[in-house]
Amino acid sequence: MALQRNYNIPNTSLIISGAYHIVGDIDIQKRNIDDIGPITSYGEIDTNLDRTSDPVYWKSGYTCKVMIDVYASKEARDNGKKPIATLGRYDIKLEENLATKGMDEKIMFYSDTNDTENILTQAYNHLKSTDYYKNAIDV
Amino acid sequence: MALQKNYVIGNTGVEVSDAYHIIYKVFTERRLNDFIQPKSSARNSQMPDIFWKAGHIGRIAVFVYANKDDRDNGMKPIGAIVKYPSDAADRITGAIDQNLYSVTPPFQLEFFINDTSSDSILTQAYNYLKTIPYFSGSLEI
């Protein structure tokens, strides 16, 4: 399972057509109790975020941080080439927002342990819900 | 002055046509005395002068842009050809993983600067690069 879409090397005009995006790592963390959520630089609760629809910010349970390896093509990946980039790990600023809403560059989702889908499928489903991947091709 | 040729980004399989190679910096150092040669005569004969001989040495750092427009418009390089990662420090961050830099280029980035030449160090550096097989057939722009 992977997603295919163009990849623009950030801050350059170079676009890799039909790049191969594959989930390379999912970092799962358990939050034991509900958190107060993100705070502003003044130490106050950030009320600009929709806390009711984004349990990833505060709700107890399992949060998953996704890292995506971007290869030039499937052949490049299958032939042991290196990824062009790893999204979600480095300070790479893309013009388009690939992150979970409000999470800057982080791609995170709240995992429902009762979901019948496995964690990898949940990760891809979450990616496809982001603006960045909504038109990507499942490959 | 710059050199235009195809560029392969690391070991990714991505080849960029007519990439714009430009010398970003020439680090200079004066080696006052010859270094002591290795004891092995076999190695002695193979070691290039640049590794041991006294002289004025230039170490070239090359940045590679997708094209000239990227460079002129303040975009970031798609790669760097440098001897040490620090030679390109912080200049590519935000564009490409530094592990994809060519920090062990398939050629020597150091050359002897001719102090008596009327050419500038930069011109001498480009002239040196053009003698390297990697840049053979490149277009000077």
Lowest mean pLDDT among A35-49, A106-120, B14-28, B103-117: A35-49
pLDDT of residue A68: 92
Question: Residue B29 in contact with residue B50, Cβ under 8 Å?
Answer: no
Minimal-distance CA residue of chain B relative to A91: B94
Residue B16: CB atoms within 10 Å: 21
Q: Residue A24 pLDDT more than 90?
A: yes
ipTM: 0.77
Q: Whole-number mean pLDDT of chain B?
A: 87
Rounded Cα gap, residues B36 and B19, in angstroms: 40
Minimal-distance CA residue of chain B relative to A84: B12
Which of B14, B70, B96 is facing A72, going by the closest CB pair?
B14
> A77: part of which helix (H) or strand (E)?
helix A74-78
Lowest mean pLDDT among A28-32, A38-42, B37-41, B100-104: B37-41
pLDDT of residue A92: 59
Which of B12, B75, B97 is facing A72, going by the closest CB pair?
B12
Question: Residue A2 in contact with residue A75, Cβ under 8 Å?
Answer: no
Q: Residue B121 pLDDT more than 60?
A: yes
pLDDT of residue A96: 64
Rounded to the nearest 5 percent, the helix, strand and coil shares of chain A are 15, 30, 55
Burial track B59-95 (b if 16+ CB lie within 10 A, e otherwise):
bbbbbbbbbeebbeeebbbbbbbbbeeebbeebbbbb
Contact B9 A84 (CB under 8 A): yes
Lowest mean pLDDT among A134-138, B41-45, B100-104, B124-128: B41-45
Q: Which residues pair with A7 in a beta bridge?
A: A16
A50 vs A82, which has greater pLDDT?
A: A82
How many angstroms away from the CA of B71 is the closest CA of chain A?
9
Q: Residue B56 pLDDT more than 70?
A: yes
* Helix (H/G/I), strand (E/B), else coil: B24: strand
User: Which residues, in sequence order, are CB contacts of B60 under 8 Å at separation 6+?
Assistant: B23, B25, B26, B109, B110, B111, B125, B128, B129
Contact A10 B78 (CB under 8 A): no
Name the residue type at position A137. Answer: I
Residue B65: its chain A contacts at CB < 8 A?
12
Q: What DSSP assignment string belongs to B72-117? A: HTTPPPSEEE-SSGGGGTTTSTTTS-GGGSBSS-SS--EEE--TT-
Which two three-digit tokens encode residue A74? 């499937």
Q: Residue B4 pLDDT more than 80?
A: yes
Q: For A26-38, what is each residue's pLDDT tens digit?
A: 999 888 887 766 6
pLDDT of residue A50: 61
pLDDT of residue A120: 93
Tell me what the mean pLDDT of segment B79-94 comes to: 82
DSSP A104: T
Please report which confidence band the pLDDT of residue B19 belongs to, taking 50, 70 and 90 as the band edges: very high
Residue A91: its chain B contacts at CB < 8 A?
93-94
pLDDT of residue A130: 86
For testing contact with chain B, the best of A7, A9, A21, A92 (most B CBs within 10 A)? A9
Name the residue type at position A67. Answer: M
Cα torsion at A99, A105, A106, A109 (round to 10°)? -10
